[in-house]
Amino acid sequence: MALSREDVKLQLRDFILKELLNNPSYPLQDDEALITGGLIDSFSLAQVGVFVETAFNVYIPDTDLTVANMDTLEQMASRVLAG
């Protein structure tokens, strides 16, 4: 089943707000800098990585779990869709 970009973003957003930010009502923008903006620390990327594995069955290698690749919701979605 092909995932739509919006689906991916929806699920990622939900995960980030609940699990990483502990703040489900935070108005997170698609292009908002999560790590360089200080919302989550770069170590939380491990959680993103594992979530992506389980939710989308996509393995993102550790070396790709970087601030440069995964700073915004938009970037994360692109990386997931890249497979």
Partner 1 sequence: MSITTLTFAGFVLLVLAVYYILPHRFQNAWLLTASYVFYLTFTWQFSAILVVMTLVNYWLARWLEQAERRKKALLWIGIGFNLAVLAFLKYAGYFVAQFTARLNSSGEPGALAILLPVGLSFTVVQAISYLVDVSRKQTQASTRPVDFALYFAYFPKLTSGPIERARTFLPLLAQPRRVDNRAIAENFTRIVVGLVRKMILANAFTALAPTSVLQDPSSSSPLALMAWLVAYAFAIYNDFAGYTSIARGVSGLIGIELSPNFEAPYFSRNFTEFWNRWHISLSNWLRDYIYLPISRALLRRNPSRGNIANLIVPPIVTMLVSALWHEAALHMLIWGLLHGIYQVVERIPSLRGPLIPVQKLPRWRQVAGALVVFVLAALAWLPFRASLPEAGRFLAALATNWPLLPSTSWMGLAGVTAMLVPALALDALQAHSGELVFLRWPRLVQAGLLAGVILAVFLVSQTYLNVPTFVYQGF
Count the residues of the shown chain that bind partner 1, applying the rule CB under 8 A. 26
58 binds partner 1 (CB under 8 A): no
Instruction: By CB under 8 A, tell whether 70 contacts partner 1.
Output: no
Handedness of CA 41, 78, 17, 32 (dihedral sign): positive
**Nearest approach, Cβ of residue 56 and partner 1 (Å):** 15
Exposed e or buried b per residue across 38-59, where buried means at least 16 C-beta atoms within 10 angstroms of its C-beta: ebbeeebbeebbebbeebbebe
**Per-residue contact flags (x/-) with partner 1 for residues 16 to 55, judged by CB under 8 A:** ---xxxxx--x----------xxxxxxx-xxx-xxx-xx-
